[in-house]
């Protein structure tokens, strides 16, 4: 039976963690090593840490912050943000990453996925797929650097291409739900899941325990959690106990 995962998502900005709504309105969310230590103590399945300003600013990610988090991380760690070259990707692996997440850099240079997969294996390559739904219900790839949509690819086509190039997992972010606590976009999940065979981390919209149950009942492999773990009294232990009570099989 397939086991599901709970993955705290940590957004790094200027040495601190932040969390926002629809990729804006960011609020302070704590000290990266301390928060990572807490998630480790609660047996989170994995942790994802993304330097959210690196690609937008055209700089390398904050490897010092990456290293401090890696020191506290006793579970698999995914690092992302600003990994625009193979050399930077390799440095992130040397810093302590188990997996690497590529969002904007992969859009700019899809060959990067091939190169990293050849060197480290598909299991180490995570495609970051940011998707925005407009008022008509149409889904578009979202580019957080510009705040606009990517017009030359569809989410499904890009997901398929990325997997063919070596991505072994997809982090699927519903930007229109991010930080809203309105529930996961399961229609978006099904659209991408029907197109690819790799595991999908669904993120954006978790607000209640029922939202988590509904997502796992829909077959979601893993849930990326931000706001729900930051600005509420929820934690990984509480979420796991609830989901186990619903009959879901979790990794830990």
62 neighbors 12 (Cβ within 8 angstroms): yes
CA–centroid distance for 178 within its chain: 11
Residue ranges of the domains in the chain? 5-245
**Fold designation for 5-245:** TIM Barrel (3.20.20)
What gap in Å lies between CA 169 and CA 102, rounded to an integer?
11
Total residues found in the chain within this entry: 252
Residues contacting 164, CB < 8 A, separation 6+: none
Q: Which two tokens stand for residue 51?
A: 């330097």
pLDDT per residue of the chain (252 residues) written in tens, 0 to 9: 568 999 999 999 999 999 999 999 999 999 999 999 999 999 999 999 999 999 989 999 999 999 999 999 999 999 999 999 999 999 999 999 999 999 999 999 999 999 999 999 999 999 999 999 999 999 999 999 999 999 899 999 999 999 999 999 999 999 999 999 999 999 999 999 999 999 999 999 999 999 999 999 999 999 999 999 998 889 999 999 999 999 999 987
d(CA 233, CA 247): 23
Cα angle, residue 191 at apex, residues 134 and 124 outer, rounded to 5°: 105
CA gap 30, 127 in Å, rounded: 26
Neighbours of 244 (CB within 10 A): 11
């Amino acid at each position: 039976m397939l086991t599901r995962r709970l993955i705290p998502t940590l957004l790094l900005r200027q040495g601190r963690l932040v969390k926002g709504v629809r990729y804006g309105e960011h609020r302070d969310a704590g000290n990266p090593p301390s928060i990572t230590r807490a998630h480790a103590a609660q047996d989170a399945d994995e942790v994802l840490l993304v330097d959210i300003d690196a690609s937008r600013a055209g700089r390398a990610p904050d490897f010092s912050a990456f290293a401090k988090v890696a020191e506290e991380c006793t579970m698999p760690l995914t690092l992302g943000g600003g990994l625009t070259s193979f050399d930077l990707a390799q440095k992130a692996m040397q810093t302590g990453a188990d997996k690497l997440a590529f969002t904007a850099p992969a859009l700019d240079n899809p060959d990067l996925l091939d190169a990293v997969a050849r060197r480290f294996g598909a299991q180490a390559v995570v495609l970051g797929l940011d998707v925005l739904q407009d008022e008509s219900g149409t889904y578009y790839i979202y580019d957080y650097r510009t705040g606009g949509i990517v017009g030359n690819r569809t989410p499904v086509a890009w997901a398929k291409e990325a997997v063919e190039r070596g991505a072994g997992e997809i982090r699927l972010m519903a930007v229109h739900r991010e930080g809203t606590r309105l529930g996961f976009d399961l229609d978006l999940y099904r659209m991408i899941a029907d197109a690819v065979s790799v595991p999908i981390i669904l993120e954006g919209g978790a607000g209640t325990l029922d939202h988590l149950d509904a997502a796992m009942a829909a077959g979601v492999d893993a849930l990326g959690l931000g706001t729900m773990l930051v600005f509420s009294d929820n934690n990984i232990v509480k979420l796991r106990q609830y989901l186990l009570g619903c009959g879901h099989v979790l990794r830990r």
